[in-house]
């Protein structure tokens, strides 16, 4: 074996990458960098809990519902606790909006950032060993540091995000994030306890041949959505749907395609939450060269009115999303 292949470099760690890129951020004081490290650390802990869920009886439902009326899984609650603890101890976060909590959580500190988070997306899939994830958005508070938190600190348009990302807990654990300067992905190496840069400068193809939607609700879709799905079928696109938003989104980010969560008779505004699901993924996809729309408007331009507000979502390759939009603008 050649000497050059005996000890190949492992790559750039997340910590080093964040440090090297810190100057790209307009508020380069190191606080956002530390906040991202806090999220990555909590992700390691949640990843560990997920991997042993079937062995220590933390899979399955807990017997209560969250604010959306959805049945909470044990790991939903656990992940929420882990992320809140990590962000509280870090001190950079002043408030948290979580899918699992009805109201904003004021951490009563001198932090400058507000986190909106879905601690464990797709948690009902854990019982059948399907990949799940965490989605997060980061905003700068609008009130002066030291003042009580108000709802306007969190109810900001997606264009105001300073960072967003997701963790994917699957065959490998990945952290994908953006601070508005492109998208980069890191894979967790458990034996070393480090995230390493594995997907630099991620770019989504302009077009793809995959559409992802729950077609079981086809009969309650609007005519516009039905017509677009007919177009997808006649174009011989492949239908791939996991029912785990982070997983479906990650595949489309890498390979191109479109993910759709449309309005239905049961959910006239769609099922996804604007503040901590749609905005984060929209920021990532646009930084990667794609687009995110409600069918009628750009997701990142929507002014939130409620913490748990829902919106329809068409997200993915730019040309495919624009094609879907065209059915709503006739």
- The reply to whether 188 and 217 lie within a common domain is no
Segment 314-324 shows an average pLDDT of: 97
State the pLDDT at residue 60: 47
The yes-or-no verdict on residue 59 having pLDDT over 70 is no
The yes-or-no verdict on residue 160 having pLDDT over 70 is yes
Q: How confident is the model at residue 141 (pLDDT cuts 50, 70, 90)?
A: very high
Segment 263-273 shows an average pLDDT of: 93
In a domain, 3, yes or no: no
Answer whether 0.85 is exceeded by the pTM. Answer: yes
- The reply to whether 160 and 186 lie within a common domain is yes
Segment 106-135 shows an average pLDDT of: 90
The yes-or-no verdict on residue 8 having pLDDT over 70 is no
- The reply to whether 316 and 183 lie within a common domain is no
Name the average pLDDT for the chain: 90
CATH at 288: 3.40.190.80
Give the C-alpha distances (Å, rounded to integers) separating 200 from 61, 110, 166, 184, 186.
Answer: 37, 33, 15, 5, 8
Range of the domain at 288: 210-326
Q: Positive or negative, the Cα torsion across 277, 283, 286, 288?
A: negative
Pick from 211, 328, 208, 209: which is nearest to 261 by CA? 211
Alpha helices in 63-222 (DSSP H): 74-90
Name the residue with higher pLDDT: 168 or 60: 168
Segment 93-108 shows an average pLDDT of: 94
State the pLDDT at residue 31: 87
- The reply to whether 310 and 189 lie within a common domain is no
CATH at 40: 3.30.540.10
Name the residue with higher pLDDT: 67 or 30: 30
Number of helices (H) and strands (E), helices first, in the chain? 8, 15
The yes-or-no verdict on residue 19 having pLDDT over 60 is yes
Boundary-marking domain end, from 164, 199, 234: 199
Name the residue with higher pLDDT: 68 or 44: 44
State the pLDDT at residue 320: 97
- The reply to whether 191 and 224 lie within a common domain is no
- The reply to whether 167 and 250 lie within a common domain is no
Q: Positive or negative, the Cα torsion across 164, 168, 169, 172?
A: negative
In a domain, 146, yes or no: yes
Q: Give the total residue count for the chain.
A: 330
Assess contact for 137 and 275: CB atoms under 8 A.
Answer: yes
The sheet that has 194-199: what strands, in order across it?
105-106, 93-98, 113-121, 132-140, 163-169, 173-178, 183-189, 194-199
The yes-or-no verdict on residue 62 having pLDDT over 80 is no
- The reply to whether 192 and 162 lie within a common domain is yes
The yes-or-no verdict on residue 153 having pLDDT over 70 is yes
What is the percent of the chain with per-residue pLDDT over 70, rounded to a whole number? 89
Residue 108 structure tokens: 């009563």
State the pLDDT at residue 5: 52
- The reply to whether 66 and 169 lie within a common domain is yes
Q: How confident is the model at residue 63 (pLDDT cuts 50, 70, 90)?
A: very low
Name the residue with higher pLDDT: 274 or 20: 274
- The reply to whether 188 and 264 lie within a common domain is no
Number of domains composing the chain? 2
Give the C-alpha distances (Å, rounded to integers) separating 47 from 83, 101, 144, 278, 299.
Answer: 12, 21, 35, 23, 30
Boundary-marking domain end, from 199, 233, 268: 199
Segment 130-134 shows an average pLDDT of: 93
- The reply to whether 62 and 135 lie within a common domain is yes
95/225 Cα distance (integer angstroms): 37
In a domain, 4, yes or no: no
Angle (CA) 245 241 215, round 5°: 110
The yes-or-no verdict on residue 158 having pLDDT over 90 is yes
The yes-or-no verdict on residue 124 having pLDDT over 90 is no
Segment 230-247 shows an average pLDDT of: 94
State the pLDDT at residue 263: 93
């Amino acid at each position: 074996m050649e000497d050059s292949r005996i000890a190949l470099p492992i790559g750039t760690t997340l910590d080093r990458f964040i440090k090297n890129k810190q100057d790209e951020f307009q508020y380069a004081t190191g606080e956002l960098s530390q906040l991202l490290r806090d999220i990555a650390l909590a992700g390691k802990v949640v990843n560990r809990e997920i991997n042993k869920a079937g062995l220590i009886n933390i899979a399955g439902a807990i017997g209560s519902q969250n604010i959306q009326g959805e049945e909470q899984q044990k790991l939903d609650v656990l992940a929420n606790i882990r992320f809140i603890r990590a962000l509280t101890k870090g001190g950079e976060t002043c408030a948290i909006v979580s899918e699992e909590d009805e109201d904003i959580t004021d951490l009563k500190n001198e932090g400058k950032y507000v986190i909106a988070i879905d601690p464990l997306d797709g948690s009902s899939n854990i019982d059948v060993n399907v990949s799940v994830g965490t989605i997060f958005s980061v905003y700068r508070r609008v009130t002066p540091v030291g003042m009580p938190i108000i709802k306007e600190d969190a109810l900001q348009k997606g264009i105001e995000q300073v960072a967003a990302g997701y963790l994917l807990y699957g065959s490998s654990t990945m952290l994908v994030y953006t601070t508005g300067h492109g998208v980069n992905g890191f894979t967790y190496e458990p034996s070393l306890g480090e995230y390493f840069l594995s997907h630099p400068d991620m770019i989504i193809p302009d077009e793809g041949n995959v559409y992802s939607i729950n077609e079981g609700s086809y009969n309650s879709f609007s005519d516009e959505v039905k017509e677009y799905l007919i177009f997808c079928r006649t174009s011989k696109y492949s239908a791939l749907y996991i029912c785990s938003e982070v997983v479906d989104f990650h595949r489309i980010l890498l390979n191109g395609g479109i993910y759709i969560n449309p309005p239905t008779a049961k959910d006239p505004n769609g099922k996804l939450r604007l503040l901590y699901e749609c905005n984060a993924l929209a920021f990532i996809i646009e930084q990667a060269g794609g687009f995110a729309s409600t069918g009628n408007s750009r997701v990142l331009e929507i002014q939130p009115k409620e913490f748990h507000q829902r919106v329809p979502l068409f997200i993915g390759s730019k040309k495919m999303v624009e094609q879907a939009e065209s059915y709503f603008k006739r």
